[in-house]
Amino acid sequence: MNIDDIILIQPINLISGLFIVSSIIIFSLNLSTINSFHSQKYLNITLNYILSIIIFSTLLLIISLFGFHINILRNIIIFFLIINLLFYYKNFHLFQIKLSKLNIFILVIFFCLSLLPPLDADSLDYHLSGPIHLIEFEKFIKPKDFYWLHFRLVGSGEMMTFLGLILGSDVFGQIIQFSGIIIILINFYYLTSKLNVKFNYLIFILSLPAIKERPSNSFINKFILRHTYY
């Protein structure tokens, strides 16, 4: 199966990826109303956002192990996302972080870079090819090519890429990666405000692992590991 048979044409591809990310954010907002990790509201939302990604990844991994029908799974996901939007709680306000124009400009650049198709070797080898293989056979099965050794590394981290491909987007994984930067900034903004200390966001942004590596890498496990590290 060719990737052109799965992904949507531009710009619908990008719109689909942004829609899925927005739906996960809304799901985490809804989840925050019933699941409280922290007394600080916005920090609680970011933690539930990470939990939401883990939940979706785990569920899709389990479904892939038992097998699925691609059209049925796609319809179920779309139905869930619509219901999630209908149950969105509107008692939340936008979180505002005081960043300089230079910092915002750098973030915008890396957001645009995250919208580029994944072209790095790892993504083409198994981060992206693994989910395509799952969609083609509608189940986790051993590939015919014995020397495709990296397929053995496909796991929960690739399930977010799998979710994006089901809905026709090959850039969803990169957008999730970029959202990790925003969550880290929110967490540090909360900590620095609470401790009343100055913080250089420019140096911090430029030193992030996501910036050192390719922003278009679709390895979702880095999203979770990055938050565990920081």
Residue 92 has pLDDT above 60, yes or no: no
Lowest mean pLDDT among 59-63, 160-164, 177-181: 177-181
What are the pLDDT digits (tens) for 111-139?
A: 887 787 777 777 777 778 888 888 888 88
| CB neighbourhood size of 206 (10 A) | 12
- Phi/psi of residue 10, nearest 5 degrees: -75, 145
Token digits of residue 147: 């020397």
CA 23 to chain centre: 11
- pTM for the model stands at 0.78
pLDDT at position 90 over 70: no
Distance CA(199)–CA(59), nearest Å, equals 38
165-188 in b/e form (b: 16+ CB < 10 A) is: bbbbbbbbbbbbbbbbbebbbbbe
Q: Mean pLDDT, to the nearest integer, of 31-59?
A: 79
Q: What is the pLDDT of residue 59?
A: 92
User: What average pLDDT is seen over the chain?
Assistant: 76
**DSSP alpha helix (H) spans, 35-100:** 41-66, 70-86
pLDDT digits (tens, 9 = 90+) for 2-34: 666 777 777 888 888 888 888 888 888 777 777
* Residue 96 confidence (pLDDT): 60
Q: Report d(CA 152, CA 168) in Å as an integer.
A: 24
So what's the pLDDT on residue 229? Answer: 41
Q: What is the pLDDT of residue 121?
A: 74
197 or 166: whose pLDDT is higher?
A: 166
pLDDT at 226 over 70: no
- Average pLDDT of the residues in 35-63: 81
pLDDT of 228 > 50? The answer is no
Name the DSSP class of 6.
T
pLDDT in tens, 169-214: 888 888 888 887 788 787 777 777 777 777 777 777 777 665 555 5
SS (H, E, C) 28-42: HHHHHCCCCCCCCHH
